[in-house]
Amino acid sequence: MSDWAQFGTGENPLGLELAESVWSAMLEHARDTMPEECCGLLAGSGRRATVIYPLENADHSPWRYSAEPRGLIAAFRDMRKRGLELTAIYHSHPTAPPVPSRTDLEENYYGLLPRVIVSLQTLPPTVRAFLLYEDRWREIPLVVVADEQRDPNKID
């Protein structure tokens, strides 16, 4: 897992990279779950997310989320099986700006793992990435990159 504490700072201006397919699927998930918040996991390697795991919001709420446990466990099992790292956690704010809420800070159980917030308050949606601390947050750069070309002859 990357040392995210240094990302997005003067020493390391690099941030979180999302493959185009992950970006598109995340926005679609946010729109499809309206008016509830969506949630999910992003996986890949280092600071690049190449796989998305949309999860069910067990709270079924427009103001908060918690991942449905079975889906969460299945996602982590699949990551382990495929040799992927958890790269970021995402969720939506259907009617609020894309900044971490007090609840997001209080319920931060993954330390400095990046959080991606999709706000559907604007069209097109506004998406930002953050590192969460106990009492504050820090925005980090978020970049959409082309999907990696896969060798059609390679078997996963």
Question: Residue 148 in contact with residue 56, Cβ under 8 Å?
Answer: no
Please give the pLDDT value at position 7: 55
Who's near 20: CB < 8 A, 6+ residues apart? 144, 145, 146, 147
Q: Is residue 30 part of a domain?
A: yes
Q: Which domain holds residue 13?
A: 4-144
Give the CATH number of the domain where residue 95 resides: 3.40.140.10
Q: How far apart are CA 70 and CA 154, in angstroms?
A: 31
Question: Terminus-to-terminus CA distance in the chain, angstroms?
Answer: 22
**Domains in the chain: how many in total?**
1
Please give the pLDDT value at position 155: 42
Low-confidence ranges of the chain (pLDDT < 70): 1-13, 149-156
Please give the pLDDT value at position 148: 77
Q: Is residue 156 part of a domain?
A: no
Q: How far apart are CA 14 and CA 76, in angstroms?
A: 26
Please give the pLDDT value at position 62: 95
Q: Is residue 152 part of a domain?
A: no
**In a 3-state reduction of DSSP, which class is residue 25?**
helix
For the chain, the maximum distance between any two Cα atoms, rounded to a whole number of angstroms, is 49
Please give the pLDDT value at position 36: 97
Quick: pLDDT tens for 72-82. 999 999 999 99
